[in-house]
Structure 1
């Protein structure tokens, strides 16, 4: 799903950058994808796509219609050993385990085992933190199931990426200020929500939200003080220039001190 201009600007600001006002949506999209990729995130937080694991599962199910095609798929695509007397069910199970082992992990992948088998990797990290901690500790102890090891590796990588993104200082500006400065058209009716979209790096808590609001208010106050100081400095420079520039536009009837002295001396004669 494509992102609108406000969503693109909001995500760029969350990543610590305010783009040029004249950029088109396409340019904003490219820059957002560059920044997200540099932090190890999915380029588009709203994009829907088939994960590598899902693609392999679809191919596996298609090949499982016939035993000979399933054996060929396991050998050629998954590089899996196949027993001569195995049934289609046994071969398919072998193929599923091989797919989990071969395909790179993605946030949308299902856990595939245990009490949260139907949940995605992202849902485990966001909604079941204690279970995620147990998965990581079990993995670190060694000799765990291949699917658990895969989930644990993804969780560790995602946590590191989340820490990296949290270090980025958001640009201190609000959506309303973007409208005031001409980045966005003024909205009619209710203002749209300015909250950033959920992604693999964002698990926003109430405390974090309150901290962000406080930080934003403090940043706006500092920005206002800087603008005031800049105006005062500009006025002082203008006054200094006016004082150092000779008056080239005197009125015709005006007289200088020297003119007054000459006239007075003539009258005295």
Structure 2
């Protein structure tokens, strides 16, 4: 049998050789590009990592500063002044009686703040002279009023000395302690306006804050028991001293002062 001659495909062979040659030529360039790309990626990753670390450090530092600011409040300024006081905090300026010694006595006065607007109490600690607390209370009224005049920026009205002639501790028929108040003969309590009536009543109310257990106040004028206070038409002979009124107290600061005072609510 006659053998058939095999055809040789020259074109595909040439194409394969050319492709191989082209790959050989491009391989170093591709390797360099791949290495460069890999290096750039690594550097970028490192840079991103560095940025992330810096950000975390800044955030951590910011948090530390915030925590430090919260944990280190500003220390309050010290104030060594002493005197009349009626507040328990010093966020502005104020004082409170924490304790008294055996040879001392605490005197408390009912006063009005802000032009007869708010009732309040003011306390002083003095060296006891051995007299009963009512006598010592009366003797120190001029001293307390003088303090109010010298510190008018506090906005405390003076205790109305002119209304009264004498204060005395007495013992009643049932052997309980009471306070006798003699009103000045020159004072017409029946014609008192609202502000004057409030001032009078707040002063009388002072005795419920004293350490002695006084049951009531007896009112005298012209050596006769009983007076008319204001235009009520009611003859007041005795005023019971209430120990627990369950009234709230608010902080009062006048526009001219930095001192806190306690203002009592009316209801």
TM-score range, shorter chain: under 0.3
Taking structure 1 as the reference length, the TM-score comes to 0.21
Larger RCO of the pair (alpha carbons < 8 Å, separation 6+): 1
Q: Which has the higher strand share?
A: 2
The structure in which a higher percent of residues are helix is 1
Q: TM-score, normalised by structure 2?
A: 0.21
